[in-house]
Structure 1
Amino acid sequence: MNETQKQNYRARMAVAQLFRSVLNQNDERAKLMKRLGVDTMPIIVPALGRTLASNIREAASRHFESGEEHIIVPVCLPSHKSESLKLCVLTISTGDAKTFWQLDMNDLHDSVEMAQVVEALDSNKKWDVKELDSQQQQELKDLATTV
């Protein structure tokens, strides 16, 4: 693994850790599981804005082949409004998610990045979008350097 790949891996693991910390607040884990109609927490595949959607699609496919029905994809992006970051949480599912706006990952070109996927979602139909406060941004930076 070269240095760029190591940095990318560390950043994605930091996104996963940040998402897990958000799930542990205010019963968010139970709310998410209820919304998805599942008894166990789905697999988490973290992404950065520059992560290729095709990489996420391939990872999800491997998990679907092993019997998973849902994959949770937290995507960390810079906020266009300020110098902050935001965490957008997408769900990839083998079935129809009747309450969510849907996008077929197979229809995406291989060069599409996750930031483009998030931007393509109608702003009033996005879910689990949260601006990260300064403490969470620092936590993300700290995690990225220690993971």
Structure 2
Amino acid sequence: MRGETATSREQAVWTRATLGQTGRPLDLLTARFDRHRYAPHAHEEFTVGVCVGGEEVIDYRGGRIRTGPGSIVVLAPGETHTGGPAASDGYAYRALYADPTLLTEGTRSVPHFREPLLDDPELATALRLTHTELSACPDHPPAP
């Protein structure tokens, strides 16, 4: 699934990768938005995003998160959030949508991220590179 507008650089490209021998899917989004703002919504999966350009603002857990290049955001399943550009030049990000079972294998409980915004340049680089590699060999597009 791919969405682009003719009047701007906005785009969203979805891919799906299958992980390991279990065949668990991992949905991936590569997006660039100049004006688009997400209405309040939630996902069934963990959302792990890395800002790769511009700045984004996300309303989450009663507060506002502001991201910039290299910022990592982890949103928990079922948590309502928004998203949109912090400035007129827009923002770009890579996101992985991980089913909770992908993060609980070998553990006793679902992880909890007290703070949704992580500042870890090495992890941001690793997530971005992993996203790029997984997106380069998709299995098939995710269901809408």
**Fold equivalence (TM over 0.5):** no
TM-score with structure 2 setting the length: 0.32
TM-score (structure 1 length as normaliser):
0.31
